[in-house]
Structures are given as C-alpha cells and as structure tokens.
Amino acid sequence: MSNGYPENKGHKGIVYPSPIFGPIHSRRLGVSLGINLMPADGKVCTFDCVYCECGYNSDHRPTLHRPTRKEVAQALEAQLKDMAANGPKPDVLTFAGNGEPTAHPDFAGIIDDTLALRNQYFPQAKVSVLSNSTFAIRPEVHAALMKVDNNILKLDTVDANYIQRVDRPTGHYDVAQIIEALRSFNGHVIIQSLFMKGTSQGKSVDNTTDLYVNPWFEAVKSIRPQQVMVYTIDRETPDPDLRTVLPKKCVMQVSMWKSHINAPRIVSHRSSHILIYHPQQEAKVRTRNSTHHYGKIYCSPFWRSRLRVSFALATQPRRGCCCGTL
C-alpha cells in the first residue's frame, strides 16, 4: 500500500529516460523535446495522482540520483546539436517526465541554462514547464517560471477533499495558497485542468458537477491566465475505474482573454470541436485558410451552463486551426 492506497490494479506507468527524452509529438505543444529532471529508473513527485500515466509513486521507487544541473545542460546541448544537424526542428523544449520538475534543487539554474541553449540552437522554440503547482509558492521557482514561454500549472479543482482523494499530495498542500501563487503570475500562466468520471476506492471522482466546476471556474477567473487547457483521460491510468468525460483524443483549450481584448481566438484543437472562452460575447471561429471566417456555434448544455463557454464547430480547415495542432 502507498499512502493508504491499495495495490495498483491498472496501468503500472511509464518511466521516461533522463535527463532527455524524445523528441515526441505532443498533442498540445507540437514537436517536443522532453527534459526529465527525475531519476531514470523511478518517479519522484509531490502528487500521487490516481490518473497519472507514470503510475503510483510506489510503483517506481528510484535507486538512481536526479541528474545534476551540469548533466542536464550537457545532455541537452548534445541533443540540440544533433537536431540542428539532422532534425527534426523542435517546437518546444518541455520539462516533464517522471514527477514534479520544480522539485529539483537546481531548477532555477537549469531553466537559465535551458534558455541559453535554446537561444543558441533554436531561438524560435518555446520552453515549457508542466507542473502540478505545488512549488509555485517558492520565490526561486516562481521567478524561474516567469522566464519560460509556457508556464503550465495544474488546478484540477479547488475542493480540498477531492484533491486529497485524487491528486493525493505527498506533503502539505493548501489550495487557497496555490491559487494566490497562480494569481501572482499576473497572467503569465496557463492553467491545466483534468475532468473525469468514474470511481476510486469505491468513491466518485466525478468533478464535472456544479459542486466542483463552479468554484473552479471562479478561481480561474480570479487567476486571469493567458490560457486554460481543459482535458480528460487519454492514456492508461493506475486506477482502472476512472472514466473519460469527452471522446478520447479530443483535447481542448480555453483561451482566457482580459477584458480589454475584444475578440477571442482558437488556441488549438484535435477534432472538429473547439472549446474557447470569451467573457462578454459569443466565440468566433477562425481557420487558417480563412482568416475572418466564423463557423457555426454549437454549445453543449454542460459547458454552456457551467463554464459559460462555447463549443465551436469549425468548418474543416486544411491544416488545422490558426495556431496549429496539439
């Protein structure tokens, strides 16, 4: 048992190479070169989520050390040199992998090294961090996250009991404190939120009801992020009783715009359904081959009533939407 949780009866999880893996094609970010600051043989995370593709923390106890700042920089430079010579050209360098990247003791320095190497080899590439937000309250982590292009931080819910049951923090976690930290980025943050149904240990994990969605939405509005990535289960999970909310591979993003911006734009889509948000007016669909074409608006009752957003049913663009594919 781990943290009182029964033995993994589902997916045992993925352990990524360290410190560099890929490149892979990310459904959200494009051609992504992964940077894994965890040990190559295990998982180290401040959450122990029931839906984590890497499995439970107890499934992969590491015996190796985390890569050092020097090892990360050397491995990253070697990979970037190879990609510059042989391809492919990366769209993004993404901190992800077997756990929480901001938990690395030299995270801030590694960010500085990565930005310098990005500028040297692929200055057009973005630097992204996928984090569960637990260390965003630390000044040195906060400062480092302000430097990256895509500061992608998790907020699945604001319900403390749900967080303990599903995200399962391994240490102290105060969601109110985390929300304040997210606000302090002053818009330089992308919120990622996973919605699902099903059960875990016989208890519901459905966070799509008013009880969970309405407070979450109010928190998101107060944070005023540049984007919100709303998604559901798309891979195997350690708990086999979890259920997806939307069709698999339909990952949506909500574009959150400040009030002075008049028109929203589509961030991305993987199917004909695009989820976008505008605080004052109906969503507008723009495709790559028709800059000012606006498609027919379709609003599902769930999203209309709870999130005040619209599903926009786009006409079939030739190359995806205006910003590319996930």
Residue range 272-310, pLDDT digits in tens: 233 333 333 333 333 333 222 223 233 333 434 333 332
Q: Which of 65-69, 142-146, 210-214, 259-263 has the lowest mean pLDDT?
A: 259-263
What CATH number matches the domain at 20-232, 3.30.40.10, 3.90.1170.50, 3.20.20.70, 3.40.50.300? 3.20.20.70
What is the pLDDT, as a whole number, of residue 62? Answer: 87
Best CA proximity match to 284, nearest among 321, 247, 318: 321
Across the range 165-178, mean pLDDT stands at 94
Judged by phi (left if over 0) then psi (alpha if -120 to 50, else beta), residue 305 lies in alpha
Question: Is residue 274 within 8 Å of 315, Cβ to Cβ?
Answer: no
Amino acid at 73: A
Amino acid at 318: R
Q: How far apart are CA 180 and CA 102, in angstroms?
A: 18
- Does position 2 have pLDDT exceeding 70, yes or no? no
Mean pLDDT of the chain: 75
Question: Is residue 261 within 8 Å of 281, Cβ to Cβ?
Answer: no
Q: Which H or E run contains 131?
A: strand 126-131
What is the pLDDT, as a whole number, of residue 78? Answer: 98
Residue 220: other Cβ atoms inside 10 A: 22
Residues of the chain with CATH 3.20.20.70: 20-232
What is the pLDDT, as a whole number, of residue 143? Answer: 98
Best CA proximity match to 163, nearest among 48, 260, 257: 48
Residue range 40-90, pLDDT digits in tens: 998 889 999 999 888 888 887 888 999 999 999 999 999 999 999 999 999
Across the range 156-165, mean pLDDT stands at 94
- Does position 266 have pLDDT exceeding 50, yes or no? no
Write the CB contacts of 232 (distance below 8 Å, at least 6 apart in sequence).
194, 195, 196, 244, 245, 246, 250, 251
Amino acid at 242: L
DSSP labels for 133-162? STTTTSHHHHHHHHHSSEEEEE-S-S-HHH
Question: Is residue 275 within 8 Å of 303, Cβ to Cβ?
Answer: yes
